[in-house]
Amino acid sequence: MSRLTQILIILVVVSSLFLCGIVVTYVANADNYKQKYDDLRSDKDSMSRKVRNLTEQVNQEIEQKKQLEDRLSAEIASLTSQVDKLQNDLKNAEREKSALLQRVNSWASIVEDFSKTNDEQGQLLKNTLDELKKVQAEQIKSRKELNETTTVLVEKMAIIETLDAETKRLLEEKTELQNRFDELLRPLGKAAAPAVPVTPTREVARPARPGVRDIELRGLVTAVDLKNSMAGISIGSADGVKEGMRFHVTRGDDFLCDILIIDVDAEEAVGVLELVQQQPKVGDNVSTNL
């Protein structure tokens, strides 16, 4: 065998070994890339299942929240109807109380004017006061029922706020998982499609802030009890009158006295005469501002 032939054989062997090494390296790297791809695909499938499960859970929570809101809205409407009925009953009771107070004032005037019939008028006054006490007791009962209904309404509103907070928490968890899912898909050149909620979100109603205005109330003197230094006026709580308010009594341009309110009904109020310059009469003007 010649020297050249030996050299060629050696070169062929070396080339074969080099090619074998390249093939082995390629096969090993191909297996590694396939393993990485399989791992990423497994993680992708796992995250996809988690996202689907969480999406279904969020949709179920939203649906349950909507059903609960509908049920609570129905209960609130029922309670509101009860509140309106109780308020009407309370207003009727206050009107009856006002009428009874007028009767009391009327009987007091009759007792003062006709002393001979004092016993008979005193008995009628006692009966009227008994009726007034009964009406006041019914009024207290109606107010208690109104307060209980208001408490139940506040509790229902608190439940709705709790459900809103839980829904917000679930949506935040969904967003976090979606971001992690996108990070896993980004090396593969893919991105997850955004999930569309089954039930649209609803905004929570927010009460408007009440405005502020100056109070300027005007009315007339409807009754005067000079013996007890008291007087009644033609406006009440429905017009904004409250206990402790002071009204100025005038006749034309003349100041007569002040009335300090001590008892307020829906449509009229009663107070004590103060700073009396002249005796007031039925029909005199009263106002909070001179």
- Over residues 173-232, the pLDDT tens digits come to 888 887 777 666 655 444 555 555 544 445 444 444 444 444 689 999 999 998 999 999
Q: Which two tokens stand for residue 73?
A: 């809205």
Write out the two tokens for 67: 């059903």
Average pLDDT over residues 46-51: 83
Counting residues of the chain whose pLDDT is more than 70, the rounded percentage is 77
CA distance linking residue 269 with residue 263, whole number of Å: 6
Architecture of domain 218-287: Beta Barrel (2.40)
Give the tokens for residue 163: 């459900």
Among 69-73, 127-131, 168-172, 269-273, the range with the most confident prediction by mean pLDDT is: 269-273
> Under a CB-based contact definition with an 8 Å cutoff, are residues 270 and 261 in contact?
yes
Whether 286 and 257 have beta carbons less than 8 Å apart is answered as: no
Confidence class of residue 109 from pLDDT cuts 50, 70 and 90?
confident
Taken in order 215, 221, 223, 228, is the CA torsion positive or negative? positive
| Residue written as token pair 């009107």 | 95
CA 266, 271, 275: angle at the middle one, nearest 5? 145
For the chain, the structural domain boundaries read 44-104+135-188, 218-287
| 158: its two tokens | 């608190």
Are 189 and 40 contacting, i.e. CB atoms less than 8 angstroms apart? no
| Residue found by looking up tokens 């029909």 in the block | 283
> Which helix or strand (DSSP H or E) is residue 105 part of?
helix 3-113
For the cut 60, the answer to whether the pLDDT of residue 31 exceeds it is no
Question: CA torsion 142→148→150→154, rounded to 10°?
Answer: 180
Which letter does DSSP use for residue 288 in this model?
S
DSSP of 179-217, one letter per residue?
HHHHHHHGGGT--PPPPPPSS---PPP-PPPPP------
| Ramachandran quadrant class, 275 (left: phi over 0; alpha: psi -120 to 50; beta: rest) | left
Q: What is the pLDDT of residues 80-108, one digit of tens each?
A: 889 899 988 999 988 888 888 888 887 87
Q: Are 284 and 220 in contact (CB under 8 A)?
A: yes
Q: What is residue 242's DSSP assignment?
A: -
CB 69 within 8 A of CB 97: no
